[in-house]
Amino acid sequence: MKQYVIDELRLEDHEKISAWFSDNLERSPLGDLYWLPVDDTILSELQRAHTDCGPHVFALELSPQRLSCELLVRTRNRMTCPCIAYATDDQFLWLVRSVDRLFEAAGVLS
């Protein structure tokens, strides 16, 4: 799986990020996995056409030492669909910038 990873998190930063994620993102029942909804303006043409599949999301896995962001745009309503695909360049850049904003909002310097 392709990922964008931020590692070597300090314990106090992990706690801030975890609290912010818990308050602002949907949490998966599987461990410390959170769903970051992808902005509709950067969805691919196929993803925009698949409104029944939405919301389209990135999976963010937070551990005490790192944040791993899958570079797969998933759907919350289906396990398999052609609209599930690796991030485009625009989606990847959006993810990186979004994580920076999330860290800032949580009070963590990026």
For the chain, give every domain's residue range: 3-105
Asked whether 101 and 10 are in contact (CB, 8 A), the reply is no
φ and ψ of 82, to 5 deg: -60, -20
3-state secondary structure of 77: coil
Q: What's the pTM?
A: 0.92
Residue 60 is given by DSSP the state: E
Whole-number Å distance between alpha carbons of 92 and 70: 10
pLDDT band at 110 (very low <50, low <70, confident <90, very high): low
- Residue 9 amino acid letter: L
- Residue 75 amino acid letter: T
User: What is the mean pLDDT of the segment spanning 50-72?
Assistant: 96
The predicted structure's pLDDT at residue 77: 84
